[in-house]
Amino acid sequence: MLITFFRSIVLYIIVLIVMRLMGKREIGQLQPFELAISIMIADLATIPMTETGIPIFNGIIPILGLLLMHLIISIINLKSLKGREIICGKPSILIYRGKIDEKILKKERFTINELQEKLRSNNIVNLGDVEYAILETSGEVTVIQKPEKRGTIPEDFNIQPDYEGIPYDLVIDGKVMSKNLKSIGKNYNWLKKQVEKFGIKPEEALVVTIDGKGQIFCQKKESA
């Protein structure tokens, strides 16, 4: 029992490291080769985790082999357009200039109901509002609305918004983010003065953030 416990921990750490090395993607954004490798890694880890008679390296070595394959395929993806097309495929245009392409729908085995579902996930309920709908290689659908149906942006009114920058976390769960303070050219004493305006100390804050305009958000931690 104890051996199985420790084997599980070791394999979990190995799989976690491998998945981190494979990069950051949501499950729905995985390319086919990435999804296949992920499934195979999960299966390979399960066998030596539960079968104590199988050497643990019999699971680790194939997992590392799959990581190597992933890295090779990723390099081909980056370096070769033709290789990328073979490995990942090409995007397909499901709706072109407002008209549904039935041939592409059949080719991709995509139903009208599935298309409508994807449009609703993009906050579009009317097929007539769509100019282009593109089925990406990850399986996601990118939607471009007709010009008259798109939301307005400042550029439409010749307005130049002020630069906003990105917000920084200064305190998370009572822990001061020193690197972020340094990034904005501030120090702990400055942070302390800002947080004291809310009647607390930095260590008592659940979260403290600052946006590109210098506005600070602060919330106190609830008592345990």
Distance CA 1, CA 12 (A): 17
Pick the range with the lowest mean pLDDT from 29-33, 41-45, 81-85, 208-212. 29-33
Tokens of 91: 């995007």
Provide the pLDDT for residue 214. 87
Residue 164 has pLDDT above 80, yes or no: no
Residue 139 confidence (pLDDT): 80
What would the mean pLDDT of 189-199 be, rounded to a whole number? 94
pLDDT, average across residues 97-126: 90
Which domains does the chain carry?
A: 2-86 (no CATH), 92-149 (3.30.240.20), 168-220 (3.30.240.20)
Instruction: List, in sequence order, every beta strand (DSSP E) within 88-140.
Output: 92-96, 99-100, 130-135
- Top-confidence residue, 204 or 165: 204
Q: What is the mean pLDDT of residues 197-223?
A: 91
Distance (Å, whole) CA 141 – CA 96:
13
3-state secondary structure of 94: strand
Q: Which residues pair with 216 in a beta bridge?
A: 210
Residue of 147, 208, 150 lying closest to 174 (CA atoms) = 208
Q: What does the pLDDT look like over 26-53, one tens digit per residue?
A: 555 667 777 778 888 888 777 777 777 7
Name the packing angle between helices 57-79 and 32-50 (round to 10°).
170
| pTM for this entry | 0.61
From CA 84, how far away is CA 91, in angstroms rounded?
A: 12
Mean pLDDT score across all residues of the chain: 84
3-state secondary structure of 88: helix
Q: What's 158's DSSP letter?
A: T
Q: Please tell me the predicted confidence (pLDDT) of residue 151.
A: 78
